[in-house]
Amino acid sequence: MNQELMNKAAKILWDAWSTGHTISGLPKDCRPTTRQSAYEIQKRIADLSQSAQIGWKIAATSENGQKHIGASGPLAGRLLADRSKVSGDNLTLGANLMAVAEAEYCFRLGTDLPPRDTAYSVEEVLNAVDTLHSAIEIPDARCVDFVTAGETQLIADNACASWFVLGPPTTSDWRNIDLRDHQVQVLVNGTVVEEGVGSNVLGDPRVALTWIVNELSHEGIGLKSGEVITTGTCVLPFHIKPGDHIISDFGQIGQVSVTLS
């Protein structure tokens, strides 16, 4: 794709996102067919937003999630400051096609991880992590039929990013906790609606974190100290509506909450 067509795709998607509208899909002339062009369109959407980037997200980290949207694997997206909150905040849900939320492990980097020719190991990536957080993601899609849009359109559409809520850094000795078996519970308006474990995220949230580092490195993109990376949902996405109070409880790792005003 040439520069003009990537700019066209980015503007269509950003206009839909910023106005709360949906589209049937990108026009064929500017529909990305490779991950490389899809990530470039995604970057241009972030530029159009004029919002600072605070980190990254991973979509489709479970086999069921990948099958649901017809993806061959996980997808990486950008987290924007203007669409991020901290635990205890209120946010206005607005128009949201998916109307679901997710409970996620989130890592903040303390060291840069620049792109390179060889893959990063899990150990190398964890050595670059500063803190572990609980998080809530509220995804959305600009393509009305996101189930059949295809992975390159979904990547271009910022991997279905919308709202992100960051919990405080855990005070637990998380490096000595097996995150694969660690229980996560979600309460909506005081009622438990979903439960899950870390292994629902590519088998291990630490593996998911390493996946996105290598995915972006392959595209020539590095991760920076201070960025947060939320690694995909540990529970089945649960339905939400305005007025809901959501708590994701990660036990000794901590809680994160948000109210949908």
Task: For the chain, give the DSSP string.
Answer: --HHHHHHHHHHHHHHHHHT--BS---GGG---SHHHHHHHHHHHHHHHT--EEEEEEE--SHHHHHHHT-SS-EEEEEEGGGEEETT-EE---S-SS-EEEEEEEEEESS-B---SSPPPHHHHHHTEEEEEEEEEE---SBTTTTTS-HHHHHHTGGG--EEEEEEEP-S-GGGS-TTT-EEEEEETTEEEEEEEGGGTTTSHHHHHHHHHHHHHHTT--B-TT-EEEEEESS--EE--TT-EEEEE-GGG-EEEEEE-
Is 192 in contact with 211 (CB distance < 8 Å)?
A: no
What is the pLDDT averaged over residues 223-245?
97
Q: What is the mean pLDDT of residues 157-172?
A: 98
CB 233 within 8 Å of CB 137 = yes
Distances (CA, A) of 221 to 10, 113, 152: 19, 9, 17
Residue 117: pLDDT band (50, 70, 90) is: very high
Confidence class for position 69, pLDDT limits 50, 70, 90: confident
Question: Does the pLDDT at position 213 exceed 90?
Answer: yes
The rounded distance, in Å, linking the Cα atoms of 139 and 145 is 14
Query: What is the distance between the alpha carbons of residues 234 and 252, in angstroms, rounded to a whole number?
Result: 16
Q: What percent of the chain lies above the pLDDT cut of 70?
A: 100
The number of C-alpha atoms within 13 Å of 208 and in the hemisphere containing its C-beta is: 32
pLDDT of amino acid 221: 97
pLDDT at 65: 83
pLDDT at site 62: 80
The CATH class given to the 3-86+100-176+200-234 domain equals alpha beta
* Average pLDDT, rounded, for the chain: 96
- Tell me the mean pLDDT in the region 188-216: 98
Tell me the torsion sign for CA atoms 11, 12, 15, 17: negative
| pLDDT tens sequence across 24-56 | 999 999 999 999 999 999 999 999 999 999 999
- Whether the pLDDT of residue 198 is over 90: the answer is yes
pLDDT at residue number 72? 84
Closest CA to 218 of 109, 122, 124, 116: 116
Model-level pTM?
0.96
Q: What angle do CA 13, 17, 18 make, to 5 degrees?
A: 120
